[in-house]
Amino acid sequence: MAALSLSLSNVGPIYRRELRSYFNSPVAYVVIVVFLAIVGWYFSSNLFLINTASMRVVFELVPLVFLFFVPAVTMRLLAEEKKSGTLELLTTKPVRDAEIVLGKFLAAWSLLAATLAPTLVYLITLMFLGSPDLGPVIAGYIGLLLTGGVYIAIGIFASGLTENQIVAFLVGLLIVLALFLADKVLIYMPSVIAPTIEYMGIDYHFGSIARGVIDSRDIIYFGSVMGFALMLATASLERRKW
């Protein structure tokens, strides 16, 4: 399969263009500010209520915010280029479809990391107020990045299905919502398939990482879902060839 041989020198320009396009428009700033406002308000209003030096509230809220935030960030990645016709130009350059998808994926992931970075201020605040346990915090951030990565890969796939960004957003939201809710509907499931459904649930794996345990089973889960969604996204580009 073509996806196996990728050239970073092709991914690079696509990554840089996409990242620049995020930060050249007000979209990135608006999204970041809204994200920080929601998380900041939630963090500060709970801090003195719980009265413990813990980032737990952040790790509870952010995956929820990501459900809407990530599809909004990824919806334009392929849909916009499909609509304007630049995708035809891009795919007739000597670049593999998988390189296009990977460049866009990494750009969105970088934006996500840039959005999360300011929340480290909360951690510094906590360190003044008490002594938070750093292990779960680091693990929590790794978990957030992995969860976000999975959402982004799914979002790009959704964006590759249509030229309509709203449709891309809704499809993306629907899929990540299904992954998020999978381990929360177990009581309605027959007991035979319940463990499988639970394993599919992204929050189940995020939860176990956020407790401070980085288990290879969770890493394999995140890696394989991300990889699978990126392969589907590449296939959605190649759909023109069918």
Partner 1 sequence: MSIAVRNLVKNYGDTAAINDISFDVKTGEILGFLGPNGAGKTTTMKIITCYMPPTSGTVEVDGLDTAAASLEVRRKIGYLPEMNPLYLDMNVIDYLEYSAQLHALRGGAMQHRIKEMVHVCGLEGVRHKDIGELSKGYRQRVGLAQSMIHDPEVLIMDEPTSGLDPNQIAEIRALIRQLGRAKTVILSTHILSEVQATCDRVLIIHEGKIVADGTPAQLQHDFQGADTITLELKTGGADPLGAVAPKIRSAGAVTGVTLLAQGDGHSTFEVHADKGTDIREALFRVAVAEGWVVLEMHRRVTTLEEVFHKLTTA
Helices (H), 134-164: 134-160
Q: Of the candidates 189, 240, 230, 242, which has an alpha carbon nearest to the alpha carbon of residue 74? A: 230
- Residue pair 179/200 in contact (Cβ under 8 Å)? The answer is yes
Tokens representing residue 55 in the block:
């980032």
Residues near partner 1, by CB under 8 A: 9-10, 12-14, 17, 20-21, 24-25, 84-86, 88-96, 240-241
Tokens representing residue 226 in the block:
């991300």
- Whichever of 10 and 147 has its CB closer to partner 1, that residue is 10
- The C-alpha angle with vertex 162 and arms to 61 and 220, in degrees rounded to 5, equals 45
Alpha carbons 195 and 227: distance in angstroms, whole number: 22
Q: Tell me how far, at minimum, the Cβ of 13 lies from partner 1, in Å.
A: 4
Alpha carbons 149 and 130: distance in angstroms, whole number: 31
Q: Tell me how far, at minimum, the Cβ of 25 lies from partner 1, in Å.
A: 7
- Whichever of 83 and 211 has its CB closer to partner 1, that residue is 83
The residue whose two tokens read 């649930």 is 201
Q: Tell me how far, at minimum, the Cβ of 239 lies from partner 1, in Å.
A: 10
- Whichever of 38 and 90 has its CB closer to partner 1, that residue is 90
- Whichever of 163 and 203 has its CB closer to partner 1, that residue is 163
Alpha carbons 143 and 139: distance in angstroms, whole number: 6
- Whichever of 9 and 131 has its CB closer to partner 1, that residue is 9
Q: Tell me how far, at minimum, the Cβ of 241 lies from partner 1, in Å.
A: 5
Q: Tell me how far, at minimum, the Cβ of 95 lies from partner 1, in Å.
A: 6
